[in-house]
Amino acid sequence: MDNSPTALKSQFMLDPEITFLNHGSYGACPKPVFEAYQQYQKELEVHPIQFMQEKVYELLTVPGSPWRLYQLR
């Protein structure tokens, strides 16, 4: 993984004309995280009851998944 400032900056949707000194407190997340979040949001919008009654629990049982890691906190 390229950890250069240019490579890392390209992973965010932040305005390139502004230099953000600290965006870790709130707001921006990396594009892949945002895209995954959007996919889950779409699933929730299409099948809200199924998602909340079944899918969430399936996601919480997948070892190593972000959902499972969140549950273990």
Average pLDDT (35-64) is 89
How much is the pLDDT for 48? Answer: 95
How much is the pLDDT for 46? Answer: 97
How much is the pLDDT for 41? Answer: 93
Higher per-residue pLDDT: 73 or 25: 25
pTM of the model: 0.66
What secondary structure, in 3-state letters, does the chain show?
A: CCCCHHHHHCCCCCCCCCCCCCCCCCCCCCHHHHHHHHHHHHHHHHCHHHHHHHHHHHHHCCCCCHHHHHHCC
pLDDT digits (tens, 9 = 90+) for 6-37: 888 889 998 888 887 765 667 788 898 899 88
